[in-house]
Structure 1
Amino acid sequence: MPDSSNAKLKSNAINMFDNTVVGIASTAPAYSLAVSFGSLIVIVGFMSPAVLLINFLPILGIACAFYYMNKYYGPSAGGIYTWVGGGLNPHLGYMAGWAIIAADVLQLISGSIPVGTYTLDLFDPSLANDTLLVSLISAAWFVLVSLIVIRGIEITIKFQWVLLLIEYVALIVFAAIALYHAYALNVPGSSHISWSWFIFHGNFATFASATTIAVFFYWGVDSITNLGEESKDAATNPGWAGIWATVGLLVIFMIVALSIQALLPAKVIAEHQADILNYVATRLVPYPWNDIMILCVMSSTLATLETSLLPTARVTLEMARDKVFPKAFARVHNTWKTPWLGTAIIGLISLIGIFLLNLSSGVGHFLDSALNNAGIMVAYYYGITGIACAWYMRRNLRNWSTIILGFIFPLLSGMYLLIVGAEVLIESGFTSSLPALLSFVIGIPIMIYYAIKEKDWFKRPLKQLPRIDIKKFSEDPIEYQKEIEQMNPKPNV
């Protein structure tokens, strides 16, 4: 198979709509709702819309950070790794990149297992308890997704469009049917949407635990940041796509959450938290139409597997280009223009994890804790990105929109996520947070090794924007705006 080291990925391959699809699909709305909405109800009851709405704001703040860093620092396959490492601190940037890799591999393993179960549920539910068969089916789906990602960014995006269409249509249709049952038919146990659902009243520890799940709901929008090298209008499209994807996610999450709560009592949702979407489908439509929801969750899960591979392969590609990761990950296919070898290596590691986990007795506990651990890691690298954006933009606060959306909003969002992540880490305890802690511990000696080997990369001066002249800005903002545009270095696209 032809390849070359340090080659470029395919440029101008995807537009803003494609980027937005990747951002929404990366969060896997149906999968997130299926595996974690019940857990959210157990923690906060019918206040789940309040938690989702409140945590939408810091995630939107981080999406704004993505926009400003992508526009003014410059697009990069490394995304957060590049921006934090080059704009704030190389060691923090390296660990942010490592956290992305660790969280995505955790997601690839934990997310692959349900695909096998869902597939068998469609054809013969009695086989869903056969762990070996589930492992084989999960592995087969995972290999297919990996091959699509390796084959090229265009075919990957087309696959995402199909999966997202299935997912959104199914979720909206079932949500509409649920609301019809609650409002028109007044089925037993149903209720009408209440304003109290949008108000949180509880202690901080409870809120922090719920926030970790809410962050998991929105996690994945950052996948867009790693596609800058392959995007059209790369300085702006990925950033805008991240903002639009975040808003789109809020809409679909709120619609589905409100419809489920209107249809079912909190106790029933909690009792069926492991498979709440499938349970809702069986309550609304007869067999075999209820299987559409299984197909919906399957498509969502496949989408998130694909979009977990995409950023991981590109972060490791950029790290390998910087010579702070094994050089094999820097190989790009001459024809397909994808980091094929890095994708294959990550896929192989995940495949081994799928079999080891699925054939062990601790699979249930692992899947339960995977969500919490992924949330902790995401809170770290999202949080540090918000702070990095504020630090990078501090010298270039050209107007009120930049001050608010490029400095204050990302800074507060980043601090919020870091505080909540720390609180959850403390409240969860050592055992439950072990995967997240181990991920960081494993990454530290690797970082130290490369810090010694590649001193120049770790000691290079930070990239900075030119400082704004406040006096000139206040005297003639419009004219000075033109000067700023000429001063600012254009990003390398």
Structure 2
Amino acid sequence: MSELASSSDSTALAPPRVEGAAVDKGLRRGALGLVSSIVLGVSSTAPAYALAATLGFVVIAVGVQAPAVMLLAFVPMWLIAVAYAQLNRREPDCGTTFTWAARAFGPRTGWMGGWGIIAADVIVMANLAQIAGSYGYRLVGLDSLAESTLWTTLAGVCWIALMTWLCYRGIEPTARLQWVLLAIELVVLVAFAAYALVAVYGGTAPAGSLMPSLTWLWPSGLEWSSLTEAVLLAVFIYWGWDSALAVNEETIDPARSPGRAAIISTVLLVGIYTVVSIATVAFAGVGTEGIGLGNEANAEDVLAALGATVFGDDLAGRVFETLLLLSVLTSAAACTQTTILPTARGTLSMAAYGALPERFARIHPRYLTPTVSTVWMGVVSIAFYVGLTLVSENVLQDSIVATGMLIAFYYGLTGFACAWQFRRSLRSARDVLMRLLLPLLGGVFMLVVFVLACVEYADPAYGYTTVLGVGGVFVVGVGSLLLGLLLMVAWNLVAPAFFRGETMPRE
């Protein structure tokens, strides 16, 4: 009861807001520079894993114009990154969408924005853990264990526990590990693209290969349904760069560096995705047999399907093929770690302002990291992963796809929050563009993506499961938001001060 009482004490939790500064929550200040923030932003998207698991399905939907879809999906991500950067300059708070949406539209909207981040991160943790567990076995030649649900789940749980422990121990060790993991990913992806393009232009690529064309970069002539499906997939692979904003209170120059890191991260990602997708499509082609990207047997892991053929069977090729497996493993592991970071800091911020129990705001006296928030993120992720695995792997797969709806929800909300917050403080043409028009366009785009996802995913023919004649992906996505709504109502009954607007920093 003492925690609940202190959570409702608006005097203790409502200091004046200072422009360009965050309320001190006890995190380690100045721990990260701009480059480290960029590393976190890029690694959080898991580029190697994202390409391996998504590119094949994009090609099946739109053929050789997969690179065009990568460019198209970049546009809303960049627009939303601009919104994040502008809001962060005004109020660099680790609660990000929660804090900014609450400031713009009220506590209830902010709470749902925070919940959107939590739900999306918990759901995707299950997939990341599964991939890390499976690839860990493959890397050491234990393919039979990689195919075992029991052993893969056990390894996945160990990965989550390990990454939770690393996040608990401090932001600096986490950042140092991310440098190493991302370096492995990028070296292997660059080598993969280089080997593939050299083979194509040198005439040594296998039958079915194609010469790259500028027409691949423009989505003309595509059917609306195919383009929609491909964009929904591509939006998912860009998700994660906002982790750079979630550590803003631990960054040097917290009002500017995190926003710059987010924008730079999205630009780096579009470069990586476009180049690798061009190289992959050119080398493998879009045929439905063999290594062709139109072959559905290759779609779940394009990089593994092509690795041996791209790198060849000489010593260097075998080394890079092994590194390719390692890159997907490190990609999933890095993303697991950088998924825990923003969620723990989001719940820390929510608790600091009375939107969650006060215990979630506790900080370790030595490591200066959120203790309860970090541990709870790991525990809930493990419980969700194991629970869905026991129920059905099909449900697990559908839940992962459903994260796209949650991403569109809280990204779009952030875009609208930026436009609304700055609507009365536009002092120049640049302000009108950067603080109003671009964020508003990003919000509208994400709203359209959310609506299209609802329509697409509600189709019972989509995904692996159905519930009462409705697609299981839609049920998981909308159900997650409804669960958040119920939890918000319950917390409002217990500690209403936040929902009365008494605990947020005063203007």
Q: TM-score, normalised by structure 1?
A: 0.89
Where in structure 1 are there 5+ consecutive unaligned residues? Answer: 466-488
One-letter identity of the residue aligned with 2:387: L
Is the CA contact (8 Å cut-off) linking 1:216 and 1:371 kept in structure 2?
no
In the alignment, structure 1 residue 59 sits paired with structure 2 residue 100: no
Instruction: Point out the structure with the larger helix share.
Output: 1
Provide the rounded CA distance (Å) in 2 between the counterparts of 1:185 and 1:207.
31
Residues 66-465 of structure 1 mapped to structure 2, 5 A cutoff: 66-72=84-90, 74-123=91-140, 124-187=142-205, 188-200=207-219, 201-266=221-286, 267=288, 268-271=292-295, 272-285=298-311, 286=313, 287=318, 289-360=320-391, 362-364=392-394, 366-367=396-397, 369-429=398-458, 430-431=470-471, 432-460=473-501
> Tell me, what secondary structure is at the counterpart of 1:76?
coil
> Tell me, what secondary structure is at the counterpart of 1:221?
coil
Provide the rounded CA distance (Å) in 2 between the counterparts of 1:84 and 1:37.
33
Is the CA contact (8 Å cut-off) linking 1:212 and 1:372 kept in structure 2?
no
Counterpart residue number, 1:484: none
Shift of the alpha carbon at 1:30? Answer: 0.5
Distance change in 2, residues 1:241/1:138 (3 Å): same
> Tell me, what secondary structure is at the counterpart of 1:191?
coil
Provide the rounded CA distance (Å) in 2 between the counterparts of 1:295 and 1:370.
26
Is the CA contact (8 Å cut-off) linking 1:95 and 1:443 kept in structure 2?
yes
Deviations 1:288-324 (A, max 9, x none): 5412111000111011101110011011111111222
Where in structure 2 are there 5+ consecutive unaligned residues? Answer: 1-6, 8-23, 459-469
Provide the rounded CA distance (Å) in 2 between the counterparts of 1:45 and 1:364.
26
Shift of the alpha carbon at 1:463? Answer: 9.2
Shift of the alpha carbon at 1:403? Answer: 1.1
Shift of the alpha carbon at 1:205? Answer: 3.3
Provide the rounded CA distance (Å) in 2 between the counterparts of 1:335 and 1:88.
37
Q: TM-score, normalised by structure 2?
A: 0.87
> Tell me, what secondary structure is at the counterpart of 1:169?
helix
- Which range is displaced more, 348-357 or 451-460? 451-460
Shift of the alpha carbon at 1:374? Answer: 0.9
Is the CA contact (8 Å cut-off) linking 2:135 and 2:329 kept in structure 1?
yes
State how many pairs are aligned: 459
Provide the rounded CA distance (Å) in 2 between the counterparts of 1:218 and 1:418.
17
Provide the rounded CA distance (Å) in 2 between the counterparts of 1:180 and 1:364.
39
Shift of the alpha carbon at 1:52? Answer: 1.2
Deviations 1:393-432 (A, max 9, x none): 1111122222112110110111111112111111211322
> Tell me, what secondary structure is at the counterpart of 2:255?
coil
Shift of the alpha carbon at 1:36? Answer: 1.1
- Which range is displaced more, 81-90 or 281-290? 281-290
Provide the rounded CA distance (Å) in 2 between the counterparts of 1:345 and 1:189.
50
Provide the rounded CA distance (Å) in 1 between the counterparts of 2:231 and 2:328.
23
One-letter identity of the residue aligned with 1:113: Q
Provide the rounded CA distance (Å) in 1 between the counterparts of 2:441 and 2:35.
29
Provide the rounded CA distance (Å) in 2 between the counterparts of 1:320 and 1:109.
25
Provide the rounded CA distance (Å) in 1 between the counterparts of 2:188 and 2:122.
28
Of residues 49, 61, 68, the one that matches 1:31 is 49
Counterpart residue number, 1:468: none
